Structure 1
C-alpha cells in the first residue's frame, strides 16, 4: 500500500525533501502509552532511523506521520504546515511496509504505476514513469512478472519503486527488510540508502536492527517508553551516549564496578584512576557515589594472559578477525572484550587474565 498524493505530478519540477517535526506527540491505546510527549525534528533530505525495543513507540510515530493514527495530543508539521488532521491519502508521502503489500493480480510495472493511475495520470506517462522506476531499482527486466514470480528482495524493490512513483517528499519505511535473509538485507539496505541520497527524500526508517540503523542513517533516534532518549549521528550515539539506556541498548556495553577517585571527576576501576566523561552521580539521595559502574565497549577492554590474574575467561565467540571473550572478574561481574583472533593461542577459555582500560575518559553510571 502506498500513500497517495492528490496533486498529479505532471511537471518536471525537482522535488526536495521536507522538514518534518513532531511536537509533543501523545498517543495511548487503553492503559498503554505508545507516545509520551515525543519531540523530534528531521531536516530536509535526512534519513533518520527510529530505533528501540518492542513497544517503545517507533511504529506508532511512523503511523502518526503517515496519517494512519491520530495523536491524542501534539502536532505533526511538514515544512511548517500542521498536517495532524490531514487524512492519509492527502499527505505527500510514500510508505513501504514489511509485508510488501503488492497486488497479486498486477504485474510489477502495473504495481508501480498503480498510484499514478489513481492520481489521474495518463496511461503512457504512468507506464513510462513506472519503467523508469523499475530501472532505478534495478529490475527493468521484471516489468511483466507477477509478485508470485519474484523473490522477496525483488518484491520489496517493487514496493519501494511504487512508494517513489508519486515523487514524495517524505518516505516512510516500516521495517522493510526484516522478512529477508541476511545477504539480501545487506544488499537492499545499501540500495535504499543510495536511492534516498540520490533523490533527496526525507526518510524515516523504523527498525529493531541496530546494525541497519547505524549503517544507514544520518541520525538515529533511540526511543524508550514513547519518549526520545537521544537522536544523534551513529558515531556520536555509539561513542557518546547521553543515557545509560542508550549506552546499553546500542551496541554491546559492559558494566565494571568502580569507585570515585581521589580527585573530583575521576574514578578508580581495574586498578587505575581514570577521568570521567561527564559527572559522577550527585549525592542527593538518588544515587550512592560510593557505588558506581564504568560502562565500556568490548573494543576498549585490553586482555592480557596472567597466571596471577584474578579474572578468568569463561567464554569465547569467533567473529572472524576478532574473537569476543566473556571474562569474569573476581567479584563475579562479567565483562565482554574483543581481541584479535590470532591472540587466542594465549587466551584459551579458562585462562587467568588481567583486564585494563585505556587512559581516556570513561562513562559512569550509578549502580
Structure 2
C-alpha cells in the first residue's frame, strides 16, 4: 500500500478563538478568531508585523498565547506540546540536516517515532517520488538546489501524516521561476492529500493563486477572510481594498444617494457612502484610456497581454491604468490622454475612516 493509497488523516477542522499574544508593549495578536474548513488551504496575508507569523507559530506550538483557544477537530491543542500536536511545519529556510541524505531527512521524524527501518525507507522513497525527487534519495542537502531542498522539507513534513500542515513562507528564498513551479506543486499535493493547510506569505500573488480563502490581517486583527475573488472584488474594509492588489485614489464628489461623480462619470457606490468631496477607489483595470485630452502618460511597463501605464491627471493626481498591449503603442509616455472609469460600482476611501 502506497502513501497515496494511505493518505494523511484528512479533513481536520481548525477553529481559532480569541487568540491573544503580546511581546512586552507590542501586541502581535489581538483577539484573533478564524475558522479553517477540513481540507482547506488558508493563506494568512498582511504587512510585516501584522501577526501572521505569530499566529502560525502558536498553531505549531512554538509560541504560547496569552489567551484564546486553538481547536483541532474540537480539541484545544494550546496545552499540547509542539511534538505531540499532530501538526507539521515547513520553514522558509528548509531546516534540513546537512549530514543526512534526502531519504534520511524525510525519514527523521519516523525514526523518532520508532517506525521500523524498512518502513521508514519505503515511506521516504514514496514521498520523494510524490514531490518529484525520485532518484535523489542518496543526495545530501548541499547537492540539491533550493527548490529541491524545499521539496525534501515538504516530504519530511508529510511523512508523519499530520492533521494540520503549516507553511511559513516556504517559497520566499527561491527564484521566481522555481517559486512558480513549486507553488503549483504544493497546491497539487495539498489537493491530492486533502490535508488542512495554513500558509503564511507576504506575496499577494502566491496567496491569491494558491489559497481557497485568504485571511488578511492588520495590527493583530483579522480584516477579512474570503475567497481571492471576493477579496479583490468586494473588500470588506478600506485597508483590504488598498492592500490587496493595486488601487487608485481619485478625487470625486457624491452627487446623490449612492452615486459619485469621478473623472466626469457618474458611478454607483458600493458599501458605505459619503457626502461632498471624497476619494474614490478604482482598480487599474477599471480605467480606460483614449488618445487626446488633458491628462498625460508619464510611464509604461510591459506586462505581456497588458501594459501598465502611469498617468498624471489635470489636478496632479497620479493614477495607474492597465490597458491591452495591442492598443498601448499609440499611448507612449508623453501622450495626452483622457481617463474614463468603466461603469461598475466603486468604493470610497473614507468608508472605514481612511484618509
TM range (shorter): over 0.9
Other-structure match for 1:303? 289
Preserved contact between residue 124 and residue 159 of structure 2 (Cα < 8 Å): yes
Q: 2:304 aligns with which of 320, 324, 330?
A: 320
TM-score by length of 1: 0.92
Q: Deviations over 1:324-346 (max 9, x none)?
A: 11111111111100112222232
Q: 2:237 aligns with which of 228, 240, 243?
A: 243
Q: Deviations over 1:219-258 (max 9, x none)?
A: 0111101011111100111111111111111111101111
Deviation at 1:149, TM superposition (A): 0.6
Other-structure match for 2:276? 290
Other-structure match for 2:177? 183
Deviation at 1:14, TM superposition (A): 5.9
Q: Which shows bigger deviation, 238-247 or 155-164?
A: 238-247
Alignment of 1:15-94 (within 5 A): 15-94=9-88
Match status 1:273 vs 2:266: yes
Other-structure match for 2:251? 257
Alignment partners' CA distance in 2, 1:214 and 1:14: 25
Secondary structure of the structure 1 residue equivalent to 2:120: helix
Q: Deviations over 1:182-203 (max 9, x none)?
A: 0000000000000000001100
CA RMSD of aligned residues (A): 1.4
Other-structure match for 2:323? 339
Secondary structure of the structure 1 residue equivalent to 2:79: coil
Q: 1:168 aligns with which of 162, 170, 180?
A: 162
Alignment partners' CA distance in 2, 1:197 and 1:61: 23
Secondary structure of the structure 1 residue equivalent to 2:285: helix
Secondary structure of the structure 2 residue equivalent to 1:190: helix
Deviation at 1:48, TM superposition (A): 0.5
Preserved contact between residue 146 and residue 174 of structure 2 (Cα < 8 Å): yes
Secondary structure of the structure 1 residue equivalent to 2:135: helix
Q: 1:350 aligns with which of 320, 334, 346?
A: 334
Match status 1:158 vs 2:176: no
Other-structure match for 1:361? 345
Q: Which shows bigger deviation, 52-61 or 290-299?
A: 290-299
Alignment partners' CA distance in 1, 2:42 and 2:126: 26
Preserved contact between residue 8 and residue 195 of structure 2 (Cα < 8 Å): no
Alignment partners' CA distance in 1, 2:35 and 2:329: 50
Q: 2:90 aligns with which of 79, 87, 96?
A: 96
Alignment partners' CA distance in 1, 2:69 and 2:149: 34
After superposing on structure 2, the runs of 4+ consecutive aligned residues of structure 1 that deviate more than 6 Å are none
Tell me the number of residue pairs that the alignment of Structure 1 and Structure 2 aligns: 348
Alignment of 1:88-237 (within 5 A): 88-237=82-231
Preserved contact between residue 8 and residue 193 of structure 2 (Cα < 8 Å): no
